[in-house]
Amino acid sequence: MRARVGLNLAYVSRAEQAGGWDDVLGIATFNGTPEVAAGAAGIPVAQVHTPVLPGDTHLYEVWSSEQPAESGRRGRVSYRSTPEMLFGCVALAERDFVPSESADAGRHPSALHLATEYAYQEICATLEAQGYPHLLRVWNYLPDINRDSGGTERYRQFNTARQHALHTWGRAVAGSVPAASALGATSESPLVVYFLAGRIAPLFVENPRQVSAYHYPREYGTHSPVFSRAALLRQATSLTLFISGTASIVGHRSLHLGDTAAQTRETLTNIEALVEEANRRASDAHFDLATLAYKVYVRRPADLPVIQAQLASAIGARTQIIYLQADICRQDLLVEIEATGICRLAAVA
């Protein structure tokens, strides 16, 4: 029978983190979580500066591969890889990127633009050097995501810089682009990007209820966001569904302004539509809302009980869910949800 080589995701507390590290690809930490155990030396750790809700629980997001992995570093990117997959992360402080004196007048790139472009250049160079051409899933965390700087919202600056870097490396900015999220982080924290890449191209999935993000009209910025609504990766014994950060958007418009409960319900409807589309596109897939793992971003901590109640009603209480406080890419959105599903396939003799 074939060896198991599928991807795994677990959200665990510091107390639960134990066992061997041979097959761990990478880790994300939140809320200033202390360093991981000494046995994890060499494993890339993305230190995300977003508080965990409720309280100060120290959580680890652990990606593993069911195969021994090897660690490496190229430039500013720390990575760990198996023959099929690579997990990488990069963190850059904006203070290390000095914009031109006229940046505030909008004539030259800002520090965020320079840091973002550099991060994506480093990521592309690492993937080319290591031979993992396909970006599968990317997480982006940038401080003060909604703040205006030099007359342009920082999230829009980020989108412009990401496109510039991808163009430079001849990579797609529409269609065959990874699932992704972009969220706010605490002020003065670094730009943090972590990602999964592979040697096999995924199937990119769009939501029939939404305009593809890379086709957004110019009212959302001169450069559209570069992500697919979801990506579906097939491996020998599993299918993995990466659902991008999803919110209360139908077509390209935000809905239910000011109504947290309604935004949460609409977001879950969008996720359900993506699950149905993935199951349609892959005939042997059987994803459903109850078996996904969720990461929920909450703009206003006081809204947490409302959001939790909506999720409990829709998907029950047995699902893996973590809640983080973070600003969302549009100021009128109060909640954003991303999800990951892993569907095991029948073994082949």
| DSSP per residue, 190-210 | PEEEEEEEESSPPEEE--TTB
CA dihedral 260, 266, 269, 271 (to 10 degrees): -70
Handedness of CA 6, 12, 14, 18 (dihedral sign): negative
130 CB-near residues (< 8 Å, 6+ apart): 72, 74, 79, 81, 86
CB 224 within 8 A of CB 167: no
The yes-or-no answer on residue 336 being catalytic is yes
Question: Regarding beta strands 230-234 and 203-205, do their DSSP bridges make them parallel or antiparallel, or are they unpaired?
Answer: antiparallel
SS3 string of 304-320?
HHHHHHHHHHHHCCCCC
Which residue in the list 94, 122, 277, 336 is annotated as catalytic?
Answer: 336
Amino acid at 112: L
Peptide bond into 109 cis (omega under 30): no
| DSSP per residue, 230-284 | EEEEE-SSEEEEEEEEE-SEEBTEE-STT-HHHHHHHHHHHHHHHHHHHHHHSTT
Catalytic residue numbers read 336
